[in-house]
Amino acid sequence: MLMLAAVLRLPFPRVRSQSDVVRIGRAVDYPLHRYTFVAGSNVFVYRDRKGIRILSAICTHLGCVVRASESGFHCPCHGSRFDRHGDPVSGPAGRPLEWYHAERAADGVLVVDLTRRVSRHRVLGV
């Protein structure tokens, strides 16, 4: 019975970080105009001249961790593809990747709240 439970669990990877509020460093740690993956938090940080945006790296199909590609993001588990804004373009995922709320702590470190979803247009000024 235990073996069956383990096999049934395989398609549902556990990718959520330990905490729903994570510290991810300073804005200057992230290069301009590039999505940078933050492994412990399973998010991508995008920084441009306007500021910082935080995009979930969790596929909305079955929760696998997506990877950045030249055209956006792809899920290595089931083949979903997302454009650079996190909107699905092919595969089984029917919902876009989530964007998260970020703010700057008193010590200047970026803090991401993984429970607070925001519009992709919301920017934390830097």
Given pLDDT bands bounded at 50, 70 and 90, which one contains residue 82? very high
Q: Which of 4-13, 27-36, 56-65 has the lowest mean pLDDT?
A: 4-13
Whether residue 24 contacts residue 41, with contact meaning beta carbons closer than 8 Å, is answered with: yes
Domain boundaries, the chain: 2-118
Predicted confidence at residue 126, as pLDDT, reads 79
Token pair, residue 94, equals 């029917």
Share of the chain above pLDDT 70, in %: 86
Mean pLDDT of 78-85: 96
Cα–Cα distances (Å) from 71 to 35, 68, 111, 124, in that order, read 12, 8, 27, 24
Please state the pTM of the whole predicted model.
Answer: 0.83
Superfamily in which the 2-118 domain is placed by CATH: Rieske [2Fe-2S] iron-sulphur domain (2.102.10.10)
Mean pLDDT of 8-35: 77
Whether residue 113 contacts residue 20, with contact meaning beta carbons closer than 8 Å, is answered with: yes
